[in-house]
């Protein structure tokens, strides 16, 4: 009787599952069927659910989860997390996947698409094979075409309960062939671009990450170097965070570098980071993915000719910020307005010390592409004089005499200045 039970019970479970599948029009691949039978029968230990998610970095800043956990965000089967290089997109994507893992018992999958990396971007066929391998479904007959394997992957995602993280995505065409229909599985995409086509064609939700707030940057920095050390030199710590531009990756690298120098005062370190080039050397842990210079260069290399020119010209502008009228004057045409306004979608944090300062721009590009700085500053000086003239009262501008407006550039402070040289009694 026991022998019959060992045979009959799994067979009856299989028949019952088959009837439900026919009734619900749900189809299973072999490996999915085995897992479901084991879960339903409970007489055989369940196989371990595939989990290919990365471990979370420690420490990290908890942000973005409330927005992605809202009812509106839960309504989307696809979520796009976008933002500049080093802002914490991958960390948030992995954190969200870990939080939602219990809802997707068939597996948690993750693929680095290499959209911005030293290696070539991952092809669709390579991504399909890797995801099938993570599912335990890679085996197939030798006559199966790449398109047949892709369709097999999409059907598996549509019929199963998987959560998939597609990290470091270059653009929409790189991931659209991998996206299933329906809401059975959940897909989280991290990219330096907003992937508007994925949002329009697949109804994806989106969240754009930016820089850390001052409080968040201080918390992360304190967790890395110790609260006591930071509180002992608050002004030097603030200068170090300003040098990092509140970019999460830059703060993390700086904190780990400083943790290796326990006997050195923060003031000494901050004083040595007055130039962008020295900052970039300091913010480098010796590996490409832990180097600010490297991750910014990958964004630059992905740009087209017009976008590269915009990046180079904007990078020569002194000061911490650049508004649209000044950018138009610098770039030399009204047509450049759209390129500058969209530059935040090119993969770097626009106008921060770590992104487009002159030394940083020079470091991530080649010298033969470097524009003539004098020409760029002359354009900005001319624009400043025009703005000053048009905002000065008319009675002042029409008075006879030599020009009273002077503009210039301070190399030491990387800023531009504008002064009125007419004595106050004559104004």
56-115 pLDDT, tens per residue? 888 988 899 888 888 777 889 999 999 989 999 999 999 999 999 999 999 999 999 999
Under 8 Å between Cβ of 159 and 28: yes
For residue 193, count other CB atoms closer than 10 A to its CB.
22
* Residue 75 shares a structural domain with residue 201: yes
Residue 104 is given by DSSP the state -
In terms of Cβ atoms closer than 10 Å to its own Cβ (0-12, 13-18, 19+), residue 203 is exposed
Residues 121 and 75 in one domain: yes
* Residue 294 C-alpha from the chain's centroid: 14
The answer to whether residue 285 is domain-embedded is no
Cα separation, 219 vs 59, in Å, equals 10
Task: Answer whether residue 310 is part of any domain.
Answer: yes
Burial of 6 (0-12, 13-18, 19+ CB in 10 A): exposed
227 and 351 in a single domain? The answer is no
* Residues in contact with 276: Cβ distance below 8 Å, sequence separation at least 6, in sequence order: 353, 357, 358, 359, 360, 363
H helix intervals, 25-138? 30-41, 65-68, 71-74, 89-100, 124-135
Burial of 216: CB neighbours in 10 Å, binned 0-12, 13-18, 19+: middle
Q: List the strands of the sheet with 162-169, edge to edge.
A: 107-112, 162-169, 186-191, 78-82, 205-208
**If DSSP codes are grouped into helix, strand and coil, which group holds residue 111?**
strand
**Structural domain contains residue 50:** no
Q: Tell which of 178, 208, 238 closes a domain.
A: 208
d(CA 401, CA 210): 49
Q: Which residue has the tokens 């020119």?
A: 309
CA dist list (Å): 344 to 62, 118, 299, 303, 356: 23, 22, 11, 12, 12
Q: Is residue 104 part of a domain?
A: yes
Residues in Cβ contact with 417 at an 8 Å cutoff, skipping those fewer than 6 apart: 407, 408, 409, 410
Of 160, 176, 208, the position where a domain reaches its end is 208
Return the H-helix or E-strand segment holding 379. Answer: helix 373-391
Query: In this structure, what are the phi and psi dihedrals at residue 153, rounded to the nearest 5 degrees?
Result: -65, -45
User: Looking at 208, 228, 243, which one is the last position of a domain?
Assistant: 208
What is the reported pLDDT for 137? Answer: 86
> Does 28 map to a domain?
yes
Q: Is the separation of the CB atoms in 109 and 134 below 8 Å? A: yes
- Whether residues 118 and 191 fall in one domain: yes
Rounded Cα distance between 298 and 326, Å, is 27
How far does CA 244 lie from the centroid of its chain? 16
Q: Percentages helix, strand, coil for the chain, rounded to the nearest 5?
A: 55, 10, 35
Q: CA-CA distance, 75 to 427, in Å (whole number)?
A: 62
Cα–Cα distance, 266 to 269 (Å, whole number):
5
Pair (200, 325) in one structural domain: no
Give residue-wise pLDDT tens across range 46-72. Answer: 456 789 999 888 898 889 988 888 877
Spatial CA neighbour of 353 closest among 192, 244, 241, 236: 244
Same domain, 224 and 192: no
Within a domain: 289: no
Same domain, 251 and 312: no
Cα gap 269→150, rounded to integer Å: 52
Q: What are the tens digits of pLDDT across the range 148-202? A: 999 999 999 999 999 999 999 999 999 999 999 999 999 999 999 999 999 999 9
Same domain, 119 and 198: yes
* DSSP, res 343: G
Q: Are residues 310 and 387 in the same domain?
A: yes
Same domain, 19 and 118: no
Rounded distance between C-alpha atoms, residue 350 and residue 279, angstroms: 17
The pLDDT value given to residue 314: 72
My answer on whether 230 and 199 are in the same domain is: no
pLDDT at position 113 is 97
Q: For position 152, which CATH number holds? A: 3.40.50.300
| Reported pTM | 0.74
Residue with tokens 């790449």: 146
- In this prediction, the residues of the chain whose per-residue pLDDT falls under 50 are 1-8, 42-46, 346, 348, 350-359, 361-362, 366-368, 394-427
Residues in the chain: 427
> Range of 364's domain?
302-427
Q: Is residue 88 situated within a structural domain?
A: yes
The residue whose two tokens read 């330096």 is: 192
Q: Is 378 helix (H, G, I), strand (E, B) or coil?
A: helix
* pLDDT score at 272: 81
Please check whether residue 283 lies inside any domain of the structure.
Answer: no
Q: Angle of helix 248-259 relative to helix 234-244, nearest 10 degrees?
A: 130
- The total number of structural domains in the chain stands at 4
Are residues 229 and 203 part of one domain?
no
């Amino acid at each position: 009787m026991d022998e019959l039970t060992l045979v009959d019970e799994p067979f009856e479970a299989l028949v019952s599952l088959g009837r439900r599948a026919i009734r619900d029009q749900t189809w299973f691949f072999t490996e999915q069927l085995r897992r479901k039978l084991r879960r339903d029968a409970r007489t055989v230990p369940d196989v371990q659910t595939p989990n290919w998610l990365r471990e979370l970095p420690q420490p990290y800043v908890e942000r973005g989860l409330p927005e992605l956990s809202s009812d509106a965000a839960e309504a989307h089967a696809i979520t796009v997390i976008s933002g500049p290089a080093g802002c914490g997109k991958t960390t948030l994507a992995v954190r969200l996947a870990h939080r939602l893992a219990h809802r997707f018992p068939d597996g948690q999958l993750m693929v680095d698409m290499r959209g911005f990396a030293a290696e070539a971007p991952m092809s669709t066929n390579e991504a399909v094979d890797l995801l099938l391998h993570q599912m335990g479904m890679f085996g197939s007959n030798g006559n199966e075409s790449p398109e047949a394997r892709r369709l097999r992957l999409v059907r598996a995602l549509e019929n199963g309960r998987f959560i998939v993280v597609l990290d470091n995505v270059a653009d929409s065409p790189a991931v659209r062939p991998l996206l299933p229909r329906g809401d059975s599985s959940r897909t989280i995409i991290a990219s330096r671009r907003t992937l508007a086509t994925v949002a329009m064609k697949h109804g994806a939700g989106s969240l754009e990450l930016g820089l850390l707030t001052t409080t968040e940057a201080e918390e992360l920095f304190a967790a890395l170097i110790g609260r006591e050390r930071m509180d002992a030199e608050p002004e030097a710590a603030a200068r170090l965070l300003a040098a990092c531009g509140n970019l999460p990756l830059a703060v993390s690298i700086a904190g780990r570098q400083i943790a290796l120098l326990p006997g050195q005062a923060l003031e000494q370190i901050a004083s040595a980071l007055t130039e962008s080039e020295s900052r970039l050397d300091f913010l480098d842990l010796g590996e490409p993915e832990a180097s600010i210079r490297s991750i910014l260069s990958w964004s630059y290399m992905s740009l087209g000719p017009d976008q590269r020119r915009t990046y180079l010209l904007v990078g020569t502008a002194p000061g911490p910020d650049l508004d649209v009228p000044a950018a138009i004057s610098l770039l030399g045409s009204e047509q450049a307005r759209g390129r500058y306004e969209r530059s935040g979608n090119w993969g770097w944090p626009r106008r921060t010390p770590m992104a487009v300062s002159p030394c940083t721009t020079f470091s991530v590009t080649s010298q033969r592409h470097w524009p003539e700085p004098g020409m760029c500053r002359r354009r900005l000086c001319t624009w400043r004089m025009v703005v000053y003239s048009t905002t000065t009262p008319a009675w002042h501008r029409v008075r006879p005499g030599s020009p009273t407006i002077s503009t210039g550039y301070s190399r030491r402070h990387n800023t531009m200045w504008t002064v009125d040289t007419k004595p106050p009694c004559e104004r």
